A and B are shown apart, each in its own frame.
Chain A
Amino acid sequence: MSNKVDPNLMKELKEFGLTDAYKCYHCGNCTAVCPLSTPENQFPRKFVRYMQLGQKEKILSSPEPWLCYYCGTCSDVCPRGAEPGETMMVARRWLTSQYDWTGFARKFYTSERFEIIAITIVAILVGIGLLIFNTGKPNWDHAHLNSVWPSDKIELADLGMAAILSFLLLSNVFRCYKFVMGDMAGRIPLRVYASQLKELIVHVLTQKRFGQCEDKMQWFVHLMIMTGYSSVFLLVVVLINGLTFENLKFQRDLPEYALWHPIRLVGYYATFAIMYGTTYAIIGRLRKSKSVYKYSHPTDWMFLILLQLTTMTGIFIHFTRLLDWPFPTYALYVIHMMVAVPMLVLEVPFAKWAHLAYRPFVLFLLKVKEQYAKEQAAVRVPSVALAD
């Protein structure tokens, strides 16, 4: 079977931010230095070749870009300035748009205008929604969020949003599964999937693979953002109503929990971790301080800005609430939601946020594939021995 060369892929990838991959002459220095490249999954060199020759099928079924955390070492050693690290980043954007069946992701990545307009529309809708749907009896004496937007109602809204998000994300994840597994989809027994689950969880929690990269700072920053984000998600979405436990409720009104209360401590940790991580990344991107920050796609900026804005408005609400200023608290809450909701609704299924699903999932699938291959080989060897 001959592979058709498709020169249009490179042109298409340019829209996703590809700049220098044409310079690659396949010396393999990048693959040699990459701590995550293994004999089974060699990258980035071969992957760049797939791109140059327009091998879409191969790119979809061998999703090495998800193995890469963009430490930038490959770009540093590239003798041609072909930026293999950035090329993998572009590949992730393209893959995200391929997994997404709605076509939104492609629009998001290829049009900055579309991205801004979409976010603005959702923000305005959220703002209007909050102004229309409330109790109508705000407490003007005390900052009492529950008096305007009760947590059980918010929880309902959260559930609705979660359902939509999950549907979008999971349907895309399923497409991703189809692409990655190819004709192996359905052939591998569930047992193998289950055996690799532990690995998946450990990886998600510790970002172990990222830790293998040479630049430990990147791993640390990423871990901060990831854990900060996850814990605050846990607090404000899952525990908004405390899952009916009064003491687990995310605190929206006075009286405040004591300082040592786990909910409060986790909240402070999350705030610090996100602010630290995003500030580090924003300064890095502004200064282009290392390879990983040299190229900034509009979606990269949007990701950081929305996250930081959400956190900052959250911090302000916390203070106005403690100071017991009702109006600023309510106003800030509206703004806070106008930033946070678009971030979740649009970025999670369609843009950079989506990697939180794809990366661990693809990693998991590859582990499954490897394990299955190992088992198959183990089965085959004795039969060969018998044949001899």
Chain B
Amino acid sequence: MEKKLAVYICSGCGLGEALDIEKLSGVATKECKAAICRSHPNLCGEEGVKLIRDDIASEGVDRMVIGACSPRVMYDVFNFEGCVVERANLREQVVWAQEPGHEDTQMMAEDYLRMHAVKADRSEVPVPYQPEQEMSKDILVVGGGVSGMTAALEAAEAGYAVTLVEKEKELGGFQKYVSMKATFPYKDIQPNTVNQLIERVSKNDKIKVMTGAKVEKIEGGPCVFNVTVKQNGTTSDHHIGAVVMAAGWQPYDPTKLDPVLGYGKSPDVITNVQFEQKFQSGPIVRPSDGQPVKNAAFLQCAGQRDPDHLPYCSSVCCFTALKQAIQIKRQNADANVYVFYKELRTPGQGEDFYRKAQQEGVVFLRCQAPEVITGGSRLAVEGHDELLGEKVTVEDLDLVVLATGMVPVAAFGEDFKVKAPGEEEKKQDEMQMTPDTILVSDILNLQYRQGPEMPALRYGFPDSHYICFPYESRRTGIYAAGPVRRPMGIAASIEDGMGAAMKAIQCVELTSKGQAVHPRAGDMSYPEFFMQRCTQCKRCTEECPFGAINEDEKGNPLPQPTRCRRCSICMGSCPERIISFKNYSVGMIGDMIKSIEVPEEYDEKPRILVLACENDAYPALDMIGLRRMTYNAWVRVIQLRCLGSLNLVWIADALSKGIDGILLLGCQHGEDYQCHFIRGSELANIRLSKVKETLDRLVLESDRVRFETVSIMDWNTLPALLNEFADRLNEVGPNPYKGY
């Protein structure tokens, strides 16, 4: 079929007043070679959309540029199946952010039409990916604790077949040891109901429970996972759509604690976990001689929030201490119970639980470093009470309970990277990607090139960006839930199980239609590799933040498109530029850059190319327009899927075209990264550091290329940033390649 390009220009929302629409139409038909160019005062209205639909039906239009509002709005209205739709952002980023009727504003609008016309011309309509293997929507849950069982039940009740793998002989996880629980509405301690949950799971015929089993191997990707489970010496294969990893936690080893806490010196010093296990059924007694407990002390943060032990707060121990304290008080109202805490953390409605313990007569002592004295006939605790401002002692204790923290099971095992063979030594001074932490913890045993388990975000917890993307992980189709993801109690675990089940369902539904999952949910394009030109450099397989690309023995990439999130970081990484998408490629963006009209030097109209991440920087630029602020008129913005898709050839393209400066706007990287694709902006920055050397060698000022991190909140500082960059470029002078 022959290509037929149409350009539609909206004259509503102030576009008609600020721009010369006729002149724009001229650019569309003459320069962009559009077969049809129409303008309408309300393109997103019924009449405007009908205009487009009629052209598709009767004129055979198969690609179009819509010069109207930002692509971030009205995407559901301008959605024409089977057509390439390019959106030139003439509203937010041109007429709302520039001086109306000005010559420069008109030039900017014209450039955007040119840029998107050339992209529309080169794009193709994506065809959904269909793997060879039949796709499965079944869900595998690893771990049969509260989070895992909740996830299994939720998925099963939504109609999905579930396989639940539990390594112990029976379901229940840690809650099996627990007699009373502290959960919503946090008014009082409640009897544990884990047995009811186990019964519901066992009775659900959509859930296949495998106890005493472990996952030996997981191959493939979402909807085409091939999982091998070993149970009682026999292995079985399972075809799985998505995985919920709810493998749970282990208590911190109390023998590693500071000796001043007295662990090991007296049998009456126990941990919070041992409290549950010892007194699960039966009275709370002195461990040493079985006598009733009359005086007990709880020491919070034992080896927690401590750089020498667990640096984090396990978030449940305060609840646990309150619960156990109330249990002692229930057994004997005259018992004296003391809680030594650094900060009592009972967030949200949990405050009521703290009140409950106060009401029961529990004595609270705010104390940073309590010491357990084991020398005498009975235990004592000594510490500096900050509220009194003096040292206090609690004597005659029958029981001391230490609040040790939660360690995710994923935090055990050797570092995968350390023993990976064949790694070449890299130059020390070169900027390098921060390596992922993948520990061989024997939970999922993924057959992935980047490692057998989920990468950890911090402290061994396999999480993604916890604030922006709860329940997400860095392995597509695998969602961590419960205390393996972050320390949490029973209420949060149930919520987590539900959240992960929902994510897993979204994943199998989208993947089975050939669509991407979060954050580019619904995207049908996927990377295609022109393998003849591959040099086996392994950059794509190493840099993919989601481990989507495996490798054969020769180092050839073996892409697994259902694992792909469509960030295009691989496309930016490839020195041979052999990776491309149907509607996004190195060539397309390069052509967009080349289509920018660069005025001669004596016109004194420099040009600044802004390559902006679609997730934060681009919407921030839209915000400037929405707030009717103005920014530099020399700017031309290209929206990138992720700054990590930046290919260095674009810099060369822009500079040789005579563009004076290039600004890369990406997300914050490093420890508190905000990149939707984890690594994108970091990689772009590393790549840029390399191009700067080259620029210096070519006697092109490296100041012409700048990298800045912005979050969506930074919109108000962006105009100043752009102006400042323009000023710097003025000082540097015009690009000497202008006019070549």
CB within 8 Å of B: which residues of A?
1-5, 7, 10, 22-23, 25-26, 46, 49-50, 52-53, 55, 80
| Among candidates A3, A23, A46, A53, residue contacting B358 with C-beta atoms closer than 8 Å | A23
Contact A1 B391 (CB under 8 A): yes
Contact B385 A53 (CB under 8 A): yes
Contact A2 B393 (CB under 8 A): yes
Contact A5 B390 (CB under 8 A): no
- B392 within 8 Å of A (CB atoms): yes
- B388 within 8 Å of A (CB atoms): yes
Contact B361 A3 (CB under 8 A): no
CA distance A1 to B391 in the complex (A): 7
- B560 within 8 Å of A (CB atoms): no
Give me 21 A-to-B residue pairs in the complex whose CB atoms sit less than 8 angstroms apart, sorted by A's number: A5-B338, A5-B363, A5-B365, A5-B392, A7-B336, A7-B338, A7-B361, A10-B361, A22-B358, A22-B359, A22-B361, A23-B358, A23-B359, A25-B364, A26-B387, A46-B387, A49-B385, A52-B363, A53-B363, A53-B385, A53-B392
| Among candidates B336, B338, B391, residue contacting A2 with C-beta atoms closer than 8 Å | B391
Interface centre among B338, B358, B385, B394, by most chain A C-beta atoms within 10 angstroms, is B358
Contact A3 B355 (CB under 8 A): no
Contact A3 B391 (CB under 8 A): yes
Q: What A residues does B601 contact at CB under 8 A?
A: none
Q: What A residues does B395 contact at CB under 8 A?
A: 4
CA distance A23 to B364 in the complex (A): 11
Q: What B residues does A1 contact at CB under 8 A?
A: 391
CA distance A4 to B387 in the complex (A): 15
- B509 within 8 Å of A (CB atoms): no
Contact A49 B387 (CB under 8 A): yes
Knowing A49-B388, A53-B388, A55-B388 touch, does A4 contact B393 (C-beta < 8 A)? yes
- B436 within 8 Å of A (CB atoms): no
Closest to B336 in A: A7
CA distance A52 to B388 in the complex (A): 10
Q: What A residues does B390 contact at CB under 8 A?
A: 3
B-side interface size class:
20 to 34
Knowing A1-B391, A49-B388 touch, does A7 contact B363 (C-beta < 8 A)? yes
Main secondary structure of the interface of B (DSSP, over half): strand
Contact A5 B393 (CB under 8 A): yes
Given A2-B393, A49-B388, A80-B355, 12 further pairs, Cβ under 8 A: A2-B382, A3-B391, A3-B393, A5-B363, A5-B393, A7-B336, A26-B387, A46-B388, A49-B385, A53-B365, A53-B385, A55-B388
Determine how close the nearest CB of chain A comes to the CB of B163; give it in whole angstroms. 48
CA distance A53 to B394 in the complex (A): 10
Contact B392 A4 (CB under 8 A): yes
Interface centre among B336, B359, B395, by most chain A C-beta atoms within 10 angstroms, is B336
| Among candidates B355, B366, B391, residue contacting A23 with C-beta atoms closer than 8 Å | B355
Q: What A residues does B388 contact at CB under 8 A?
A: 3, 46, 49-50, 53, 55
Residues of B363-410 at the interface with A, using a CB-CB cut-off of 8 Å, are 363-366, 382, 385, 387-388, 390-395
Q: Which 3 pairs show the lowest CB-CB distances between chains A and B?
A: A2-B393, A7-B336, A2-B391
CB within 8 Å of A: which residues of B?
336, 338, 355, 358-359, 361, 363-366, 382, 385, 387-388, 390-395
Q: What B residues does A49 contact at CB under 8 A?
A: 385, 387-388
Q: What B residues does A10 contact at CB under 8 A?
A: 361
Closest to A23 in B: B358
CA distance A46 to B386 in the complex (A): 11
CA distance A52 to B387 in the complex (A): 11
Determine how close the nearest CB of chain A comes to the CB of B294; give it in whole angstroms. 11
Closest to B357 in A: A22
Closest to A22 in B: B358
Q: What A residues does B365 contact at CB under 8 A?
A: 5, 53
Q: What A residues does B361 contact at CB under 8 A?
A: 7, 10, 22
Determine how close the nearest CB of chain B comes to the CB of A24; give it in whole angstroms. 8
Q: What B residues does A22 contact at CB under 8 A?
A: 358-359, 361
Determine how close the nearest CB of chain A comes to the CB of B329; give it in whole angstroms. 12
Interface centre among B336, B359, B387, B393, by most chain A C-beta atoms within 10 angstroms, is B387
Q: What A residues does B355 contact at CB under 8 A?
A: 23, 80
Determine how close the nearest CB of chain A comes to the CB of B361; give it in whole angstroms. 6
Q: What B residues does A46 contact at CB under 8 A?
A: 387-388
Q: What A residues does B392 contact at CB under 8 A?
A: 2-5, 53
CA distance A23 to B360 in the complex (A): 10
CA distance A5 to B363 in the complex (A): 10
Q: What B residues does A26 contact at CB under 8 A?
A: 366, 387
CA distance A374 to B546 in the complex (A): 71
| Among candidates A5, A50, A52, A55, residue contacting B394 with C-beta atoms closer than 8 Å | A5
Closest to B384 in A: A2
Q: What B residues does A2 contact at CB under 8 A?
A: 382, 391-393
CA distance A22 to B358 in the complex (A): 6
Closest to A52 in B: B363
Closest to A54 in B: B363
Closest to A45 in B: B387
CA distance A387 to B395 in the complex (A): 44
CA distance A3 to B385 in the complex (A): 10
CA distance A23 to B385 in the complex (A): 18
CA distance A53 to B338 in the complex (A): 10
CA distance A52 to B336 in the complex (A): 12
CA distance A1 to B388 in the complex (A): 14
Q: What B residues does A3 contact at CB under 8 A?
A: 388, 390-393
CA distance A21 to B649 in the complex (A): 72
Q: What B residues does A52 contact at CB under 8 A?
A: 363-364
Closest to A28 in B: B387
Determine how close the nearest CB of chain A comes to the CB of B363; give it in whole angstroms. 6
Determine how close the nearest CB of chain B comes to the CB of A82; give it in whole angstroms. 9
Q: What A residues does B364 contact at CB under 8 A?
A: 25, 52
Closest to B335 in A: A7
Determine how close the nearest CB of chain A comes to the CB of B300; give it in whole angstroms. 15
Determine how close the nearest CB of chain B comes to the CB of A46; give it in whole angstroms. 8
Determine how close the nearest CB of chain A comes to the CB of B124; give it in whole angstroms. 64
Determine how close the nearest CB of chain A comes to the CB of B474; give it in whole angstroms. 41
Closest to B362 in A: A22
Q: What A residues does B393 contact at CB under 8 A?
A: 2-5
Determine how close the nearest CB of chain A comes to the CB of B719; give it in whole angstroms. 44
Q: What B residues does A5 contact at CB under 8 A?
A: 338, 363, 365, 392-394
Closest to A21 in B: B358
Determine how close the nearest CB of chain B comes to the CB of A208; give it in whole angstroms. 30
Determine how close the nearest CB of chain B comes to the CB of A54; give it in whole angstroms. 9
CA distance A3 to B355 in the complex (A): 26
CA distance A10 to B382 in the complex (A): 20
Q: What A residues does B359 contact at CB under 8 A?
A: 22-23
Q: What B residues does A7 contact at CB under 8 A?
A: 336, 338, 361, 363
CA distance A2 to B382 in the complex (A): 8
CA distance A130 to B385 in the complex (A): 59
CA distance A50 to B392 in the complex (A): 11
